[in-house]
């Protein structure tokens, strides 16, 4: 695909605090943020009065109540200033914005029913993000922290030709973007939104990426996970591990529609790949993770309508699946119980890499090799001879070699700073 040196990155999760506490001045990035309320101010809360500049009925209000209003307005997304109890123009504007959004008269002063509604809305957000106040013994301050993750909705556009590469745009997707694919022509991107039941559509023109709508597949529990586009750019497949379907989308230019044909392959279809010639697709069915053997399936894309034509048993939890660039092999990463506690009867100390020959729409066992624990993504080199496997627990990429008859572990390991979870190599055009 030709992307004019641009790469897209979808962010599935973010820590919840920054996305709701606007006054922190941070973007919704996946990092914890804090705020502090000095103990000294808390002790003076019942005594300190407002500054003379404050108006709107706040001049005689106790500091604790004014701080509480600012705090709640921050959680509802209306206030992004310093939480210190001073009701200046910014704080009063925040009150008016809350009143406007909730159908009240914009007076800048909260009547009792309005204050009660503000508190209720703030509390609901705090519960959703798991907000907790903890004591910092070193400073004597209280620190507020979000303890839950919430689905993110960001797509970052990276300019690879910049030195160093730089993010040049951040776009909004649906909730929980998980899978992302770009058509071979480099003009269209699809993002599977795992927490929303939709697929976001983006157009690509040079370095400009723009939203072009979304396609609903199911409800928020349907779990769209991976998406792939056929080489001709006219059809897309989307796995849905929440309700066990694989959706077929039609593509006509920038118009993307759900064909209303949903395939059934196995329990929790997740990983997906489409062959370079567009003849078949393979899907990894994760299963329930309860120790049973799980499966991978083959979809025949040559027939109309496309259909599942082959399903084979591979072992516990097939996570990664990929077809070789030459279309002759299918590689499957099977966790094999390596992601389970050691005391589990289904635990195994290693995962497995299974290699199958692709014979039309059949998968024929070819070779197998031991890999690390809780292994994730998998990728072939351009010549289909080298295979890379990501081992999550070991924080490494394992390098294996296929000579046409034998699969060998080269012993080479590429260390990573964290547990690697996704990998892909550029397709051969």
Q: Do 210 and 82 fall within a single domain?
A: no
3-state SS of 39-63 is HHHHHCCCCCCCCCCCCCCCCCCCH
pLDDT at residue 214 in the model: 97
Residue 376 reports pLDDT greater than 70: yes
End residue of a domain, out of 116, 146, 176: 146
Q: Do 140 and 175 fall within a single domain?
A: no
Q: Do 313 and 229 fall within a single domain?
A: yes
d(Cα 392, Cα 22) in Å, to the nearest integer?
34
Residue 54 reports pLDDT greater than 80: no
Q: Do 140 and 158 fall within a single domain?
A: no
Q: Do 266 and 400 fall within a single domain?
A: yes
- 429 is a domain residue: no
pLDDT-based confidence at residue 136 (cuts at 50, 70, 90): confident
User: What digits encode the pLDDT tens for the residues 140-175?
Assistant: 777 778 888 778 898 999 998 889 889 999 999 999
End residue of a domain, out of 80, 112, 146: 146
Residue 25 lies in domain = 17-146
CATH of the domain at 397: 2.130.10.10
pTM greater than the 0.85 cutoff? no
- 423 is a domain residue: no
Q: Do 192 and 281 fall within a single domain?
A: yes
Q: Do 120 and 170 fall within a single domain?
A: no
d(Cα 314, Cα 366) in Å, to the nearest integer?
13
- 425 is a domain residue: no
Q: Do 198 and 332 fall within a single domain?
A: yes
What six digits make up the tokens of 419? 């547990």
For residues 224-241, average pLDDT:
97
- 366 is a domain residue: yes
pLDDT at residue 128 in the model: 83
User: What digits encode the pLDDT tens for the residues 239-264?
Assistant: 999 999 999 999 999 999 999 999 99
Using only the alpha carbons of the chain, give its radius of gyration: 26
End residue of a domain, out of 114, 146, 178: 146
User: What digits encode the pLDDT tens for the residues 55-104?
Assistant: 557 888 999 999 999 999 999 999 988 888 999 999 999 999 999 999 99
Q: Do 396 and 339 fall within a single domain?
A: yes
Scan for tokens 């008269």, then name that residue. 105
- 319 is a domain residue: yes
Question: How many domains does one find in the chain?
Answer: 2
d(Cα 205, Cα 227) in Å, to the nearest integer?
21
Which residues make Cβ contacts (< 8 Å) with residue 396, sequence separation at least 6?
A: 372, 390, 413, 414, 415, 416, 420
pLDDT at residue 9 in the model: 59
Q: Do 42 and 185 fall within a single domain?
A: no
Q: Do 162 and 27 fall within a single domain?
A: no
Q: Do 190 and 272 fall within a single domain?
A: yes
Which residues make Cβ contacts (< 8 Å) with residue 323, sequence separation at least 6?
A: 273, 274, 275, 276, 280, 282, 329, 330, 331, 358
């Amino acid at each position: 695909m030709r992307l004019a040196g641009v790469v897209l990155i979808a962010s599935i999760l973010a820590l919840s605090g920054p996305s709701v506490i606007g006054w922190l001045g941070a973007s919704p990035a996946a990092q914890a943020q804090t705020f502090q309320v000095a103990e000294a101010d808390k002790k003076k809360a019942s005594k300190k009065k407002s500054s003379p500049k404050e108006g709107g009925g706040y001049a005689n209000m106790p500091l604790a109540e004014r701080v509480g209003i600012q705090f709640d307005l921050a959680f509802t997304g209306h206030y992004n200033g310093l939480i210190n109890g001073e009701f200046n123009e910014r704080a009063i504007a925040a009150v008016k914005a809350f009143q406007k959004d909730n159908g009240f008269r914009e007076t800048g002063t909260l009547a009792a029913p309005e204050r009660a509604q503000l508190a209720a809305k703030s509390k609901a957000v705090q519960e959703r993000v798991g907000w907790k106040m903890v004591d910092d013994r070193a400073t004597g301050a209280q620190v507020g922290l979000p303890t839950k993750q919430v689905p993110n909705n960001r797509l970052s556009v990276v300019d690879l030709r910049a030195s160093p590469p730089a993010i040049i745009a951040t776009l909004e997707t649906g909730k929980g973007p998980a899978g992302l694919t770009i058509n071979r022509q480099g003009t269209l991107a699809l993002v599977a939104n795992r927490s929303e039941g939709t697929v976001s559509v983006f157009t690509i023109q040079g370095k400009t990426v723009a939203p072009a709508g979304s396609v609903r597949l199911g409800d928020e529990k349907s779990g769209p996970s991976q998406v792939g586009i056929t080489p001709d750019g006219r059809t897309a497949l989307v796995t849905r591990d929440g309700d066990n379907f694989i959706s077929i989308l039609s593509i006509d230019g920038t118009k993307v529609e759900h064909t209303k044909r949903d395939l059934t392959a196995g329990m929790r279809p997740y990983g997906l790949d489409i062959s370079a010639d567009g003849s078949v697709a393979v899907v990894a069915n994760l299963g329930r993770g309860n120790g049973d053997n799980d499966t991978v399936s083959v979809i025949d894309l040559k027939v109309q309508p496309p259909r599942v034509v082959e399903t084979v048993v591979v072992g516990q939890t097939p996570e990664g699946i990929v077809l070789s660039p030459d279309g002759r092999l299918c590689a499957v990463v099977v966790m094999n119980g390596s992601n389970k506690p050691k005391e589990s009867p289904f635990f195994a100390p290693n995962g497995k890499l299974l290699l199958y020959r692709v014979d039309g729409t059949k998968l024929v066992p070819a070779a197998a090799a031991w890999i690390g624990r809780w292994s994730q993504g998998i990728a072939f080199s351009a010549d289909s001879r080298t295979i890379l496997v990501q081992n999550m627990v070991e924080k490494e990429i394992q390098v294996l070699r296929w000579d046409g008859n034998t699969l060998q572990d080269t012993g080479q390991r590429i260390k990573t700073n964290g547990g690697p979870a996704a990998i892909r190599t550029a397709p051969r055009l």
